[in-house]
Amino acid sequence: MKVLVTGGLGYIGSHTCVELLQNNYEVIVIDNLSNSEVSVITRIEKITNKKITFYKGDLLNKFDIQQVFQQNEIDAVLHFAASKSVNESVKNPVKYYKNNISSMVNLLEVMEDFNVKKFIFSSSAAVYGSTTQQPISELVDTQAMNPYGQTKVIGEDFLNDLYISDNEWSIVVLRYFNPIGAHESGLLGEQPNGTPNNLMPLITQVASKKRRLLYVFGNDYNTTDGTGVRDYIHVVDLAKGHVSAVQKLLLTHGLHTYNLGTGEGYSVLEIINTFEKVNNVNIHYEIVDRRAGDPAVCFANPAKAKEELEWSAERTLEDMCRDSWQWEKALENNILPSRK
Ligand code: WQD
């Protein structure tokens, strides 16, 4: 079974390639290396002792996509390639609508041309915006609060229209909550370009003294300790969820949407305290004002994925903190080829 993974050298994409290879799928990757690097290939192959076929290409260029389909009999596509910074999307919506929507149109057009109609879409809990219905089930209305989240809402609506137009399609939409952590090998992890937006890479950079201080965005929310609560999920659990989704794709038609979260919510201070305890380090932080657009609480009801994909997250918050720190130390000690 041959699967195409767009953005397969990125954080979630690369961890998913490992799980696909270890489940005996043949993996082809197309990636424009805008937020990843080619050395990830060797590390995926080292972990799995298997080869991947790599195409450097951009989904905004239809020719790049066509040549992959001309040269390979693709059975299914997992689509990760997209821009994913909430902050950046607010400052530069044009980039986000172009990169996240136009590329998806190109990809689906080529898939139709080659009669490949099995598709997994990387969506996000950002589609739920600031819903107060917690834990969040897939039935909650989508109401994005930023351009990034809106590109995911549009992507989902696009897929819904596509399925209605042709029910030969088999589509799974996966709404990720907060992916953190890294592969236990210490060979794969999050390598954000520039200053990270997300909590965990900032924590690991403070722990490694790359960064002096962590700013905690608000402690006046209606939560146990006043800081924001999120559903953090280990990236390897997330990757395994994609393998379960591929298996679902291959057995059925239809369009199915699943939350991929643990169902547990942890506050920022709980994350900091757990990280300090597990790794025996100190995280210097300062409470500052809330960040605009942040909901107080966001965590999943993952029951539907458990029932229909026979998948649920297994790794603990301690695992996530331990693996994140191991990865930061690997980056720090230059064990890995550094970012170009
Ligand atoms: C987590 C918590 C912050 C940074 C976003 C996207 C979502 C997904 C994950 C792509 C919040 C607090 C953070 C900091 C802090 N991305 N925080 N200081 O905003 O929940 O989700 O990233 O799919 O779609 O919306 O993640 O890691 O930025 O924030 O206090 O320097 O940490 O307020 O409570 P978020 P995050």
DSSP-based three-state secondary structure for 140: coil
Return d(Cα 150, Cα 144) in angstroms, integer. Answer: 5
Given the residues 25, 148, 176, 258, the one annotated as active site: 148
Assess whether the C-beta atom of 271 lies below 6 angstroms from ligand 1: no
pTM of this prediction? 0.96
Residue 107 C-alpha from the chain's centroid:
19
**Tally of residues, the chain:** 340
How far does residue 198's CA lie from ligand 1's centre (Å)?
Answer: 5
How far does residue 320's CA lie from ligand 1's centre (Å)?
Answer: 15
Is 148 an annotated catalytic residue?
yes
Task: Report the run of H or E that residue 89 belongs to, with start and end.
Answer: helix 86-91
The count of other CB atoms within 10 Å of the CB of residue 280 is: 7
**Shortest-distance Cα residue to atom 17 of ligand 1:** 199
Residues 329 and 261 sit within 8 Å (Cβ to Cβ): no
Q: How many CA atoms lie within 13 A of 198 on its CB side?
A: 17
Expressed in angstroms, the distance from the first to the final Cα of the chain is 33
Let me know if domain 2-333 sits in CATH 3.20.20.140. no
Give the mutation target among 223, 291, 321 for probing the ligand 1 site: most ligand atoms within 8 A of CB: 291
Which two tokens mark 43?
A: 């590390």
Give the mutation target among 121, 266, 268, 298 for probing the ligand 1 site: most ligand atoms within 8 A of CB: 268
How far does residue 28's CA lie from ligand 1's centre (Å)?
Answer: 31
β-bridge mates for residue 83, sequence order: none
β-bridge mates for residue 172, sequence order: 120, 256
pLDDT (0 to 100) of residue 333: 82
The ligand 1 atom nearest the CA atom of 294 = 33
Give the mutation target among 130, 152, 199 for probing the ligand 1 site: most ligand atoms within 8 A of CB: 199
Cα–Cα nearest to 181, from 328, 294, 306: 328
Strand 229-230 with 266-267, pairing: antiparallel
Q: What is the DSSP secondary structure assignment for residue 137, as one 8-state letter?
A: P
pLDDT (0 to 100) of residue 6: 98
- Give the start-to-end residue ranges of the domains of the chain: 2-333
How far does residue 179's CA lie from ligand 1's centre (Å)?
Answer: 10
**Shortest-distance Cα residue to atom 30 of ligand 1:** 216
Per-residue pLDDT of the chain (340 residues; tens, 9 = 90+): 999 999 999 999 999 999 999 999 999 999 999 999 999 999 999 999 999 999 999 999 999 999 999 999 999 999 999 999 998 999 999 999 999 999 999 999 999 999 999 999 999 999 999 898 999 999 999 999 999 999 999 999 999 999 999 999 999 999 999 999 999 999 999 998 788 989 999 999 999 999 999 999 999 999 999 999 999 999 999 999 999 999 999 888 899 999 999 999 999 999 999 999 999 999 999 999 999 889 999 999 999 999 999 999 999 999 999 999 999 999 988 666 444 4
How far does residue 203's CA lie from ligand 1's centre (Å)?
Answer: 12
